């Protein structure tokens, strides 16, 4: 399991760093938008992967079909996790400079991609 966690962490961080770089370049997202700072992207991604690993470890001990059960839990958690970037985007006036549809959409995309990586890596047999 430890190797899966490492693979998921590396892949998810790399994917999110690339998405961040593309978004910053394409949408001119300012450095003042804290949520897309490089360090924030890396740390948040790692925290998400580690939390998912703990959930998978618990599910694997109890569920008859851990991959299927984990996938269901991960999808529900993903949907709930999208509330955080939506909250940032819906504040009026925005609390963070650089908050716009592109920055919030980038955050949401990162959540989806991290979940996809975690589900794919953890659910492999």
Structural domain containing residue 116: 2-123
Q: What are 18-31's pLDDT values in tens digits? A: 999 999 999 999 88
pLDDT computed for residue 98 by the predictor: 81
CB 107 within 8 Å of CB 88: yes
Task: Give the mean pLDDT of 98-121.
Answer: 95
CB 113 within 8 Å of CB 81: no
pLDDT computed for residue 27 by the predictor: 93
Give the largest Cα separation in the chain, rounded. Answer: 48
pLDDT computed for residue 125 by the predictor: 67
C-alpha to C-alpha distances, 40 to 18, 58, 93, 122, nearest whole angstrom = 14, 27, 22, 24
* Tally of structural domains, the chain: 1
Considering only residues 86 and 31, tell me which one the structure prediction assigns the higher pLDDT. Answer: 86
Give the phi and the psi of residue 122 in degrees, each rounded to 5: -75, -30
Sorted by sequence, the CB contacts under 8 Å of residue 52 that are 6+ apart come out as: 8, 74, 77, 115, 118, 122
């Amino acid at each position: 399991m430890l190797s899966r966690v490492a693979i998921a962490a590396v892949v998810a961080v790399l994917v999110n760093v690339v998405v961040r770089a593309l978004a910053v370049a394409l949408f001119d997202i300012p450095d003042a938008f804290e949520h897309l700072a490089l360090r924030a992207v890396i740390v948040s991604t790692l925290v998400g992967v580690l939390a998912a690993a703990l959930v998978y470890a618990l599910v694997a001990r109890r569920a008859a079909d851990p991959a299927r059960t984990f996938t269901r839990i991960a999808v529900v958690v993903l949907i709930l996790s999208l509330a955080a970037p939506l909250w940032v985007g819906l504040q009026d006036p925005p609390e963070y400079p650089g908050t716009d549809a592109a920055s919030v959409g980038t955050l949401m995309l990162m959540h989806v991609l991290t979940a996809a990586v975690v589900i794919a890596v953890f659910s492999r047999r």
